[in-house]
Structure 1
Amino acid sequence: MEALTDLKAILHSKRANIYYLEKCRVMQKDGRVLYLTEEKNENQYWNIPIANTTCLLLGTGTSITQAAMRMLASAGVLVGFSGGGGTPLLMANEIEWLTPQSEYRPTEYIQGWMQFWFDEAKRLEAAKQFQQERIKFLKQIWSKDRDLKAEGFDMADPLLQRALESSLQKVTAAKKVSGLMQGEAELTKQLYKFAARTSNYGDFTREREAIDTANTFLNHGNYLAYGLAATTLWVLGIPHGFAVMHGKTRRGALVFDVADLVKDALILPWAFICAKEKSTEQEFRQQCLQAFTDHNALEFMFNQVKEIALKQDWETTAL
């Protein structure tokens, strides 16, 4: 069996894999974590490279052994239970993920987070920084990603430029989190409209319960982003309840704040592109994971959370 240090040799911010499994059994065998699929004539075992995995989503028809959970915890892999296709995320009361227990995670980030979190003005400033970096990341990706540009998701579009600049102005001017969320909703609505037009998708309304392909892919992709965000916060030792923007009554709200950093830039365009191309859910999922890897999405999340947690000049920057 691999030593504990070997299992955590790859930094979480550099890990490449997210797994979604269904209709299988996850188990430990010969010091490895495997999943077993039952075929008509034979059973097949497949290896999960846990040292290079951030999170594991278990869909319908799955089970997992205690020994496998122990190894996943040793490797720092988060485990979540979900419905078919990766959404909606299902878990026991109030939590989104089964997180490995560790008393040896860093303390500096949660201590830094607590220095500003109880001050409403500083929380707003942190939320603004998240929104500014979110838009900056989108501009960066849509300016350089050749595949997205080939599909029409290009920062050269004047309407897109105006929408993003207007959103940045609203972020700067916001006096309360409610105003910030309103501006976020308006921008996202414009991005959906832009994506539907660019991909020739037709009429589109964002509804999480809708069954059309674009809505389904958006749900699915968003949960992949939530997995990255949950991993980021677990590694840095910051509880999910200390959100700066989303609802105070939802314990997983900080996961949503962090996931929003990459959702518009990566999930949104590929949801519409893959819907247009009639891709399967597996093909869409692979495209999202490739985009996460190509653009260092997980490392970007880590850097943004760490920057806010360790910010030294909260006294001078808070409103």
Structure 2
Amino acid sequence: MEQLNPSDLKAILHSKRANLYYLEYCRVMQKDGRVLYLTEEKNQNQYWNIPIANTTVILLGTGTSITNAAMRMLCSAGVLVGFCGGGGTPLFSGAEIEWLTPQSEYRPTEYVQGWLSFWFDEAKRLEVAKAFQLARLDYIQQVWAKDRDLRTEGFHLDDQDIQNALQSYRNKIPRMTKVADLLLAEAQTTKQLYKIAATRCQMSFERNPEQGDLANDFLNHGNYLAYGLAATTLWVLGIPHGFAVMHGKTRRGALVFDVADLVKDAVVLPYAFLCAKEGMKEQEFRQQILQKFTEHKCLDFMFDQVKAQSLNTFSNEVHD
């Protein structure tokens, strides 16, 4: 097999990469210059190739192991690795919050410098939090307007309940003077969106990550996939996870949650309910979410939003 040089693995920008893997009951290794995972069947073992140059994140679930050589190649290609429980949750690796991040000294500095230029000013931090929330609402409208599957299932932007939920939150955002108030309004809006999705899928629902029903399990799973994309975005741009604008006075990795929130309600939330309604298996749901992440260019959107706020020049006067 042809040997690959590390320099050959960086041709695809992270924002354009299509693959995010969750693996379980397998061994990840390097063989002939490629990263593979080995599954042990009853009568035979099978090797499967991982196209690392087009991969953003690998989640290693129950019953997995990884070799030193494989980690070296994943790092050279800029792939983040996370150890997690069954079904993609929870994350529990101990380096860089939840992720084993490649140790590259050649990432851009302009974004972290731009981020830190406003971060220590509470008022400017609040402005960025508001900008993220407005972008989040814009993205919901963008995705729900053009996603045929959602429209088929009754997610129409001009429906009164959807309009009320989105417009009410949009009107509140400029008036917020504290992050705590913004968090409360955001939680209320997400609760409304849960109700909207449950109504269209004719389900009774209460959000409880420990509940164990399909909708809650799929929300957990999809959210963690979004966290993988967010962690990749921040690592590529060189911004530490601890400099959050909304979440986390006590959570060191809270900026991952802030960035993941940009796409969760637009993609993960409705499809968690739709896939639960169809009684899909976990793997089928994961494939559906990853397909929608690619279709709606979620990673591109995260990069655009974080870069825009990093390079935003604040005036001396912060607007109410």
TM-score by length of 1: 0.98
Offset at 1:184? 0.3
Matching residue within 65, 88, 91 for 1:89: 91
Matching residue within 91, 104, 107 for 2:106: 104
- Structure 1 residues 51-92: Cα deviation after superposition (integer angstroms, max 9, x where no partner): 000000000000000000000000000000010010111122
Which structure 1 segments of 5+ residues have no match?
A: none
Matched, 1:243 2:209: no
Offset at 1:258? 0.1
Task: Report sequence identity in percent.
Answer: 70
Matching residue within 127, 130, 138 for 1:128: 130
Matched, 1:261 2:273: no
Cα distance between partner residues in 2 of 1:157 and 1:90:
41
Offset at 1:310? 0.2
Offset at 1:169? 1.1
**Which has the higher mean CA deviation after the structures are superposed, 245-254 or 177-186?**
245-254
Matched, 1:161 2:140: no
Aligned to 2:25: 23
Aligned residue pairs total: 318
Cα distance between partner residues in 2 of 1:229 and 1:308:
15
Cα distance between partner residues in 2 of 1:171 and 1:274:
31
Secondary structure, counterpart of 2:82 in structure 1: strand
Cα distance between partner residues in 1 of 2:96 and 2:249:
13
Cα distance between partner residues in 1 of 2:304 and 2:35:
30
Aligned to 2:283: 282
Superposition map of 1:1-319 within 5 A = 1-92=3-94, 95-201=97-203, 203-319=204-320
TM-score by length of 2: 0.98
Cα distance between partner residues in 2 of 1:59 and 1:154:
36
Cα distance between partner residues in 2 of 1:315 and 1:222:
36
Cα distance between partner residues in 2 of 1:212 and 1:243:
31
Offset at 1:147? 0.9
Cα distance between partner residues in 1 of 2:79 and 2:91:
17
Cα distance between partner residues in 2 of 1:209 and 1:157:
31
The question of whether the paired residues in 1 share the 8 Å contact of 2:25 and 2:61 is answered with yes
Give the 3 Å change call, closer, same or farther, for CA 253–314 of structure 1 in structure 2: farther
- Structure 1 residues 235-285: Cα deviation after superposition (integer angstroms, max 9, x where no partner): 000000000000122111000000000000000000000000011111100
Cα distance between partner residues in 2 of 1:167 and 1:213:
28
Secondary structure, counterpart of 1:90 in structure 2: coil
The question of whether the paired residues in 1 share the 8 Å contact of 2:124 and 2:314 is answered with no
Secondary structure, counterpart of 1:89 in structure 2: coil
Cα distance between partner residues in 2 of 1:205 and 1:91:
29
Offset at 1:5? 2.2
Q: Which amino acid aligns with 1:86?
A: G
Which structure 2 segments of 5+ residues have no match?
A: none
Secondary structure, counterpart of 2:316 in structure 1: helix
**Which has the higher mean CA deviation after the structures are superposed, 251-260 or 143-152?**
143-152
Cα distance between partner residues in 1 of 2:29 and 2:104:
22
Cα distance between partner residues in 1 of 2:199 and 2:104:
47
Offset at 1:159? 1.3
